[in-house]
Amino acid sequence: MRVAVFGATGRTGRAVVDELLGRDHEVVALVRDRDREAAGLPAAAQTISGDARDPSAIELLLAGAQAVVSALGPRSRDVTLHRDVAALLVEALPAAGVRRFVGISGAGVDVPGDQKGLRDRVVSTLIQRLGGQAVQDKAVEHRLWAASGLDWTLVRPPRLVDRPGTGDVEHSASRSPRTTWIRRTDLARFVVDCVEQDLHVGAAPLVAGR
């Protein structure tokens, strides 16, 4: 499968790229500066230089792709990144003949149908108060995908840790997991599982390590 990746040069994005390549998928990644940022990506990953908000760069990235993964993280003072990219992709994916999208959001985002436990409701409230517009950006992103009619998934992880993965992940479309952390490599594995197996289509699963 040819998978287009946003945010491939971040720590989580690189883990996703490694996981995709390890499962023999073809990867094409959008990078802001080919010489500077693509240096950290495996040689097997193709790169396209451009900005995530550039429709022409998105068009090139999606050519021939069967799925899209976004591991875009927050940028300093950029509090509309996720909603802006989502709005562009909702238009660009059908034009490119692509239906499957898997993105990484955050456990602090609330969505309709959530059945979070007391601990996670408190944590979400704190994140939303302290995170301000950056958290709101991801909430708007969810609403855009929910209204898109595409085969989307927004994975909501808690705190990410850089320890060796175990492959053991708890996930639910609406219920709180037992832990408040997940290994970054395990998150990457789960994201690729969602792509390959069409897990949680039209949902924003909560995930955590075990």
Tell me how far CA of residue 92 lies from CA of 87, 96, 129, 135, 148, in angstroms.
9, 6, 33, 24, 11
Cα 10 from Cα 18, distance rounded (Å): 12
pLDDT of residue 73: 85
* pLDDT digits 0-9 by tens, 8-66: 999 999 999 999 999 999 999 999 876 556 668 999 999 999 999 999 999 999 999 99
In this predicted model, which residue has the larger pLDDT, 114 or 147? 147
* Whole-structure pTM value: 0.93
Q: Look at residue 129 and tell me whether its pLDDT is greater than 70.
A: no
* pLDDT digits 0-9 by tens, 172-192: 998 989 899 999 999 999 999
Within 10 angstroms of residue 103's Cβ, the number of other Cβ atoms is 26
Q: Look at residue 156 and tell me whether its pLDDT is greater than 80.
A: yes
> Does domain 2-209 correspond to CATH entry 3.40.50.300?
no
The domain spans of the chain are 2-209
